[in-house]
A and B are shown apart, each in its own frame.
Chain A
Amino acid sequence: SAVISQKPSRDICQRGTSLTIQCQVDSQVTMMFWYRQQPGQSLTLIATANQGSEATYESGFVIDKFPISRPNLTFSTLTVSNMSPEDSSIYLCSVVVGADRVYEQYFGPGTRLTVT
């Protein structure tokens, strides 16, 4: 398994500002992801954080809005830029561990963001 921490755990932000969320893993992992969970909804993958290169974004998510950094195999940041109330969500960092077709995936505790 993997132990994942996220900072901040929650925040209330003003419209038009930006927030950077940090994700720290207790071991080196190859695959790291960022998800969004809007209120009452399931999880949606924002992007795959690639170490040493640009993140791979899913349809509907763009780098200008959600810039991601991954300087090493244990750390990543997600920035939510120019926020609007529609960005109010839980943002979750996630990693995959395992091999031989057992790709177990673990999640951080999440960052609960409210935009006013």
Chain B
Amino acid sequence: AQKITQTQPGMFVQEKEAVTLDCTYDTSDPSYGLFWYKQPSSGEMIFLIYQGSYDQQNATEGRYSLNFQKARKSANLVISASQLGDSAMYFCAMREIPSGSARQLTFGSGTQLTVLP
């Protein structure tokens, strides 16, 4: 079974609007971390935001926020006030941490976001 599911292969958003990129995950470990990365056409992977499974509040980093709904096992990325430079591929990832030892990152298939002027 897929551990990380991103159901939106492509998304379009108007400049200055907000956009939500969906991510659902599957794990039976109570301890895990959720990550979002941005990959522009240059190929680098840029770390955006992190949410721990025990964190009480949703993570925020500037224009990025993570809508963490633990019961639904979803970790959607919200980008506010989209900019043309936000056009990129976005990957959701999870690391399970059973008994304090971290496992490898598992990545979703990605969502290609295009910001329209």
Contact = CB atoms under 8 A, between A and B. Distances in A.
A93 B13 CA distance: 31
A26 to B, nearest CB: 15
Nearest to B92: A42
Given A33-B104, A102-B50, A104-B50, A109 B97 contact: no
Given A42-B91, A45-B104, A96-B102, A101 B33 contact: yes
B53 to A, nearest CB: 9
Contact of B108 (A42, A106, A110): A42
A105 B95 CA distance: 10
B52 A101 contact: yes
B35 A105 contact: yes
A89 B113 CA distance: 21
B74 interface: no
B91 to A, nearest CB: 7
A109 B107 contact: no
Contacts, number: 54
A43 B109 CA distance: 8
Contacts of A43: 45, 91, 105, 107
A112 interface: yes
Interface centre among B31, B45, B105, by most A CB within 10 Å? B45
Contact of B43 (A31, A102, A109): A109
A110 B44 contact: yes
A107 interface: yes
Given A42-B91, A42-B107, A42-B109, A101 B45 contact: no
A101 B100 contact: yes
Interface of B: 31, 33, 35, 37, 42-47, 50, 52, 54, 91, 95, 97, 100, 102, 104-105, 107-110
Interface of A: 1, 31, 33, 37, 42-43, 45, 48, 90, 92, 94, 96, 101-110, 112
Given A103-B102, A105-B95, A110-B43, 12 more contacts: A43-B91, A43-B105, A90-B43, A94-B45, A96-B102, A101-B33, A101-B52, A101-B100, A102-B33, A102-B50, A106-B47, A107-B47
